[in-house]
Amino acid sequence: MAAESRLIVVSNRIPTDAQPSGGLVVALHDALKARGGVWIGSSGETSDSPGPLHEIEGVPEYRKLAYDLTEDEHRGFYLGHANSVIWPLFHHRADLIDVDEENRRQYMAVNARVAEMIAKVVEPGDILWVHDYHFLPLGHELRKLGVQNRIGFFLHIPFPNPGDIAALPDQKQLGPWVSSFDLFGLQTQRDVSACLEWLRTATEAEFTLRGRMKLADRFFEVRSFPIGIDVDSFQEAADAADITITDLPVEQKLVLGVDRLDYSKGLPNRFEAFGKYLGLRASDGPRATMLQIAPPSREDVEAYREIRAELESMAGSVNGEHAELDWTPIRYIRRPLPREIVAGLYRRADVMLVTPLADGMNLVAKEFVAAQDGADPGVLILSHFAGAAEQLDGALMVNPYDTSGMARAIDQALAMSLHERHARWLSMMQVIRDTDIEWWTESYLRALRSQPQVQVA
């Protein structure tokens, strides 16, 4: 066997730029650049008659192979089953799932089609690393085609509550899907516990020696690998950024939120908490402005349109109650901002609100820590329900359902001494450096490579 096997990465979207940006994309790009290999994913284009995989130009060190989806596939596989069933259910929102037989059929059909395309390019000794909830059945489909290579999977979103899995139309298949991978990677220990609990109670899986599981005739491992960021690049971006918010005087406190607009991010609760904080604050006390950046995403899905309307109305009502002639307490920007600006805002913020109701990891929390100036760091307010809470115990932890508790946390953060802010920041910085994006890629791939290729306990 070759010392370093070729890596095949599969993810929903393949970056089309030669120099991609964005944490995960950069990490996978670097991993492939260092080892060579192939990146397979959707081109982002739809076509009436999508042909086979086609080469996309990139860098000489590795190949990018893309496929197109039909309009029906995009609607059924991506917007339908992946984002209207799996996403809400895995974020503990079974109330939002929209089960549809045709969408589920498209989800399976795309996974089968992608598996066929991959099977044509796999060579003996290659290792495959499949990413995220779009491709839960992909390992199983590849096994059906006789692919015997090591196949790893990483779920970027939370593992669902075991009891909710019964609401999945494909709940019976989930066991074989998971066990078709050699390594089922999750973000946190909490996710691993939920997954093992489901395997124990709802499937025939057995626990074997050395932490491996056995289901039917397959052995596999379930393990957490909390994803990290490129710490230096955020620090440098924050150093280089020169942010002035014209009508926000430097002495005015800035409370920041940066999220993709999604119901899992807990934005209405956050706005309500900030409104309560404004109610708590002495009328002659220092003013704090909350800036929320939240560009809409997946607007073809009904639940995303609803959250947008709800948030706009809440911002209006909090401002209506508390604004003064020269002060708008909540500012809300719907445009996505360039990474350099975001890094500069992280640096400028006195308090960062990362308060999701459920989140696989939440990279924004880590980016905020990385962007601080160690001499005068801001305070991170972090939901217990973000995966990052398992690692960042220097944050002020909050329960996002308790908006009064969050209001008190904002007050506490704004009054926190430099000594305490510094101690909390240092402990978080240590963790994000120790488990940065390179650590994540390396430790996952090392664990995948060490899975026995011949299926033994």
Q: Which positions lie near ligand ADP, rule CB under 6 A? A: 23, 258-260, 293-295, 336-337, 342, 361-364, 367
Residues 6+ apart with CB under 8 A from 447: 152, 183, 185, 221, 223, 225
Sign of CA dihedral 69, 73, 75, 76: negative
Closest CB to ligand ADP among 112 and 243? 243
**At closest approach, how far in Å is the CB of 54 from ligand ADP?**
27
* 259 token code pair: 């999220």
On whether the CB atoms of residues 371 and 166 are closer than 8 A, the answer is no
* 231 token code pair: 């710490």
Task: Choose the catalytic residue: 92, 156, 384, 422.
Answer: 156
Where residue 454 falls (left for φ over 0; alpha for ψ -120 to 50; beta otherwise) is: beta
Look up 262 and say whether it is catalytic.
Answer: no
Closest CB to ligand ADP among 177 and 332? 332
Closest CB to ligand ADP among 122 and 255? 255
Closest CB to ligand ADP among 335 and 419? 335
**At closest approach, how far in Å is the CB of 395 from ligand ADP?**
14
**At closest approach, how far in Å is the CB of 22 from ligand ADP?**
6
**At closest approach, how far in Å is the CB of 255 from ligand ADP?**
15
Look up 217 and say whether it is catalytic.
Answer: no
* 28 token code pair: 């996978």
> Between β-strands 63-69 and 54-56, what pairing exists: parallel, antiparallel or unpaired?
antiparallel
Q: Hey, how many other C-beta atoms are within 10 angstroms of the C-beta on 57? A: 7
Integer angstrom CA distances of residue 432 from 232, 340, 366, 367, 444: 11, 20, 7, 9, 16
Report which residue type is found at 401.
Y
Q: Which residues pair with 151 in a beta bridge?
A: 128
**At closest approach, how far in Å is the CB of 205 from ligand ADP?**
29
On whether the CB atoms of residues 340 and 357 are closer than 8 A, the answer is no
Q: How far apart are CA 216 and CA 248, in angstroms?
A: 62
Q: How far apart are CA 396 and CA 425, in angstroms?
A: 11
Distance of CA 246 to the CA centre of its chain: 32
CA-based angle 313:318:319, to the nearest 5?
95
Closest CB to ligand ADP among 305 and 334? 334
**At closest approach, how far in Å is the CB of 312 from ligand ADP?**
15
SS3 389: helix
**At closest approach, how far in Å is the CB of 172 from ligand ADP?**
29
C-alpha dihedral, 75 to 77 to 79 to 84, nearest 10°: 130
Q: How far apart are CA 41 and CA 9, in angstroms?
A: 8
**At closest approach, how far in Å is the CB of 440 from ligand ADP?**
13
What element of type H or E holds 215?
strand 212-215
**At closest approach, how far in Å is the CB of 453 from ligand ADP?**
32
Q: How far apart are CA 253 and CA 293, in angstroms?
A: 17
Closest CB to ligand ADP among 280 and 333? 333
Could you tell me which of 329, 327, 319, 251 has the C-alpha nearest to residue 290?
329
On whether the CB atoms of residues 400 and 382 are closer than 8 A, the answer is no
Residue 177, CB-side half-sphere exposure with 13 Å CA sphere: 20
Closest CB to ligand ADP among 422 and 433? 433
Q: Which residues pair with 150 in a beta bridge?
A: 127
Catalytic residues: 156, 359
